[in-house]
Chains A and B, each alone.
Chain A
Amino acid sequence: MRVPTKLLATTVTIGLLVGLNYLFEHGFGDFRINAYYARILNLIGINITLAVSLNLINGLAGQFSIGHAGFMAVGGYSATFVTVYYGRAIAGLFGSSLDDAVGAAVVMLISLLTGAAAAAVAGLAVGIPSLRLRGDYLAIVTLGFSEIIRVIILNIPAVGGATGFTAAIPITNFFWIFAVAILTIVIVRNIATSTFGRVLATIRGDEIAAEAMGISTTRYKVLAFVISAALAGVAGGLSGQLFANPLNPQNLNFVRSIEIIVMIVIGGIGSITGAVFGATTLTILPEALRRLDQQFPGLRMVTYALLLILMMIFRPQGLFGRRELGWTWLRRRGPAAPAAAIK
């Protein structure tokens, strides 16, 4: 039973995504999806990937990274670089072009994989020195790292420096964004319920005890960190090649990292559905509050800040805690997630 179920679910999902993607791009008969809502939905998808991947390191492993935007930048710039400089050549190898659906898909896949690889290497380079240390140092190092990345990008004319880096033909679309988002959720979910996930939970619970039990904590922390970075890199690659969404070093800064953190803090640190909820809310909310924000500039960030503090004081486990929101949770309102999966 096992293989067919998975296969079926995967096929159905891909089919659905392709169908929705068609609807987004060409509409259905006279019906067109409003481009503004489409853009917001796409941004939601990218933010889901970012939030869920950050949850792996901040939530499951209990480490604290505030440099997620840095990994996003590494991945985004590498992926876009591949498309801009080698996109035509790659598409040509497959007898296609970037304007063609097949060519674009192949280039997208290759560019995203490059972005993931580059961000993973960056994650390894940052993770090894800082994850040996306990406590708040990781936070500062990841922050510092994302600043270093920003300065380095500013100094590379090939990727536009301060002007930003634009993909000539934006090849990111609804399909890729949500395929990646779903894949990220599946990966993080599977990690959470695997032996690896339990090791991470042990480290989160008591690092000294974990070490005493013979767990090589650094190794596992670094591994989680690298996976998290790679997924952020993919999100960066999607974001950089989205229509009218050029990469810019000034955007991928500390504030962007904080936004992602607020997403997972609101949803519940450690909960995947929580991260999805947080990403969705925090992408829609500012758009819904546009008018308010215009009258009281800066109020939005003040609200985020207050939310962070109040959540930490009154509900440090987040809105959902570690629970996953699902049918079982709705019915039983008890601790759901892994336990509920057992029939």
Chain B
Amino acid sequence: MDTVLQQLINGLSLGAIYALIALGYTMVYGVLRLINFAHGDVYMLGAFAGYFLANALDLDASPSIAGAIVVTLGAMAICSLIGVLIERLAYRPVRHHSRLTALITAIGVSLLLEYGGQVVFGANPRFFPQMIRAEVYSVGGVQITNQNLLIIVVAIVVMFGLQFIVHRTRIGKAMRATSFNLSVAKLMGINTDYVIAFTFALGSALAAVGGVMVALAIPRIDPLMGLMTGLKAFVAAVLGGIGNIPGAMIGGVLIGLLETWLGATAYSTFRDAAAFAVLILILLFRPAGIMGTATVEKV
């Protein structure tokens, strides 16, 4: 019994990671209808920004929660800037070209960050400073670390925060309008360039939070860490209904649970294919995803 419960906890922890990244994917797709392939790599940059900041503050030797918050905020700021730059320099010039052009550009940006990362940071994995020491809570034979708990909590908070921004604020309204129809939104006096830049800044900041949190729990960071995790997070977003915020959360958790379940069976060798098999099945039977319907209001 405790094994089943433990696996459930494992699945939730893993799913929360996917969910955190999927939220950023969904935001950008919701507004621009662009698969921001580079999102997973911004997540990687978030982890590296956190790495350098935490080392500068020497948090590995003297861990502190205040320090962790400072590092996270710093990584968010850095990644927002990178996100806005990517949008301004790479995506905006091709916005009015075909979607294919935009997609190839996105792939190009992703490759640039991955291999640029290898040139700058080196290909060898690095060790993320333990700015919050790992503690294991044990309840009736079921273990969870404070770091994994933190990821789950942060994912939930971020989800509600995003819901609030999108549905209850002025900029959120502008985002929804831009998503609905970019040119009409422009005619209505919305500064769509600003809205899109804001979306990228927000999405990238979320990726940074994800990067720092995940690196804390799984301290091996390397320039290619965003590739597979990013792709699986994207599948999570599609599964939940791309463009839908609670959907991204649900999709992430489902993928996490599925991978954990498969990893514990005799079919563990097929685990890496699971997310993609789900994607194909979803596209076959319910292309809009679990939460997405044609009428649901998208971000």
Do A and B contact each other directly (Cβ–Cβ < 8 Å)? Answer: yes
Which of B5-13, B97-105, B127-135 lies at the binding interface? B97-105
Pair A302/B90 contact, Cβ less than 8 Å: no
* Chain A residues numbered 33-76 whose CB sits less than 8 Å from any CB in chain B: 62, 64, 66
Would you call A191 an interface residue if the criterion is a C-beta within 8 Å of the partner chain's C-beta atoms?
no
In this assembly, does A95 line the interface, its C-beta being within 8 Å of a C-beta of chain B? no
Contact of A302 among B107, B115, B234 (CB under 8 A): B115
How many angstroms between the C-alpha atoms of A62 and B108 in the bound complex? Answer: 18
| A305 contacts partner chain B, Cβ-Cβ < 8 Å | yes
Interface 9-residue window, one of B159-167, B214-222, B247-255, B265-273: B265-273
Say yes or no: is B158 at the interface (Cβ < 8 Å to chain A): no
Query: In the complex, A254 Cα to B35 Cα: how many Å?
Result: 17
B94 touches which of A147, A304, A316 (Cβ 8 Å): A316
Q: In the bound complex, how far is the Cα of B101 from the Cα of A198, in angstroms?
A: 22
A296 at the interface (CB under 8 A from B): yes
Report chain A residues within 8 Å CB of B279: 140-141, 144
Q: Mark A100-137, 1 if CB is under 8 A from B, else 0.
A: 00000000000000000000000000100110010111
Which of B68-76, B142-150, B280-288, B290-298 sits within the interface?
B280-288
Closest B residue to A144 by beta carbon equals: B276
Contacts of A147 in B (CB 8 A): 231, 272-273, 276
B109 near A152: Cβ-Cβ < 8 Å: no
Query: Which residues from chain B contact A305 at a C-beta distance below 8 Å?
Result: 108-112, 115-116
> A175 at the A/B interface (Cβ < 8 Å)?
no
Q: Which residue of B lies closest to A139 (CB)?
A: B103
- Within 127-169 of A, Cβ neighbours of B (below 8 Å) are at 129-130, 133, 135-137, 139-141, 143-145, 147-148, 150-152, 154-155
Flag whether B277 is at the interface (Cβ < 8 A): yes
A144-B119 contact in complex given A312-B94, A316-B101, C-beta closer than 8 Å: no
Is A265 interfacial (CB 8 A cutoff)? yes
Chain A contact residue count (CB 8 A cutoff): 42
B residues less than 8 Å from A129 (CB atoms)? 280, 283-284
**Once bound together, how far apart are the Cα atoms of A51 and B270, in whole Å?**
30
Q: Is the CB of B283 within 8 A of A312?
A: no
**B111 and A64 contact, CB distance less than 8 A:** no
Contacts of B109 in A (CB 8 A): 305, 309
A256-287 with Cβ < 8 A to chain B: 258, 261, 265
A62 touches B100 (CB 8 A): yes
Residues from chain A with Cβ under 8 Å of B97 in the complex: 312, 316
- Tell me if B155 is interfacial: C-beta within 8 Å of chain A: no
B231 with A312: CB separation less than 8 A? no
Other-chain contact of B93, A135, A307, A313 (Cβ < 8 Å): A313
Given contacts A133-B283, A155-B270, A299-B119, contact A258 B277 (CB under 8 A): no
- Interface check A338, CB cutoff 8 A: no
Is B212 in the interface zone, CB < 8 Å from A?
A: no
A306 at the interface (CB under 8 A from B): yes
Q: Is the CB of B153 closer than 8 A to any CB of chain A?
A: no
Q: Which residues of A contact B234 (CB under 8 A)?
A: 140
Residues of B contacting A141 in the complex (Cβ-Cβ under 8 angstroms): 279-280, 283
B16 surroundings in chain A (CB, below 8 A): none
Contacts of B276 in A (CB 8 A): 143-145, 147-148
- The answer to whether A139 touches B35, judged by C-beta atoms less than 8 angstroms apart, is yes
Asked if A301 contacts B108 (CB within 8 A), the reply is no
- One of A126, A130, A143, A308 near B105 (C-beta < 8 A): A308
Q: How far is the CA of A130 from the CA of B102 in the complex (A)?
A: 19
Q: Does B62 contact A (CB under 8 A)?
A: no
Complexed CA–CA distance, A155 and B266 (Å): 12
Q: Would B104 and A298 count as touching, CB distance under 8 A?
A: no
Do B35 and A140 touch (CB < 8 A)? yes
Interface status of B118 (Cβ within 8 A of chain A): yes
CA distance A154 to B270 in the complex (A): 9
B108 partner residues in chain A, CB cutoff 8 A: 305-309, 312
Q: What are the interface flags for B83-101 relative to A under an 8 Å C-beta threshold, 1 for contact and 0 otherwise?
A: 0000000100110011111
Considering the complex, give the chain A residue whose CB is closest to the CB of B34: A136
**In the complex, A27 has a CB within 8 A of chain B:** no
A300 → chain B, closest Cβ, in Å? 8
Task: Give the one of B35, B93, B98, B115 with max A CB within 10 A.
Answer: B115
Assembled-state Cα–Cα distance A296/B116 (Å) = 11
Shortest C-beta distance, A127 to chain B (Å), equals: 12
B53 within 8 A of A: no
Check if A313 sits within 8 Å of B90, measured CB to CB: yes
Contacts of A308 in B (CB 8 A): 104-105, 107-108, 111
Residues of A contacting B115 in the complex (Cβ-Cβ under 8 angstroms): 298, 301-302, 305
Q: Is the CB of A258 within 8 A of B107?
A: yes
B238 within 8 A of A: yes
Complex Cα distance, B107 from A309, in Å, reads 8
Please indicate the chain B residues that have their CB under 8 angstroms from the CB of A301 in the complex.
111, 114-115, 118
CB distance from A24 to the nearest CB of B (A): 34
A299 contacts across to B, CB distance below 8 A: 119
The complex places the Cα of A122 from the Cα of B273 at a distance, in Å, of 16
Q: A265-B104, A306-B112, A316-B98 are in contact. List 8 more A-B contacts (CB 8 A).
A: A126-B280, A143-B276, A254-B227, A261-B104, A261-B107, A298-B118, A302-B115, A313-B94
15 A-B residue pairs with CB within 8 Å: A136-B35, A136-B99, A136-B103, A144-B231, A144-B280, A148-B276, A150-B273, A304-B111, A305-B108, A305-B109, A306-B112, A312-B94, A313-B90, A313-B105, A316-B98
A-B pairs, 10 with minimum CB distance: A144-B276, A308-B108, A305-B111, A305-B112, A301-B115, A298-B118, A309-B108, A151-B273, A148-B273, A298-B119
Using a CB–CB cutoff of 8 Å, the interface residues on chain B facing chain A are 33, 35, 90, 93-94, 97-105, 107-112, 114-116, 118-119, 123, 227, 231, 234-235, 238, 269-270, 272-273, 275-277, 279-280, 283-284, 287
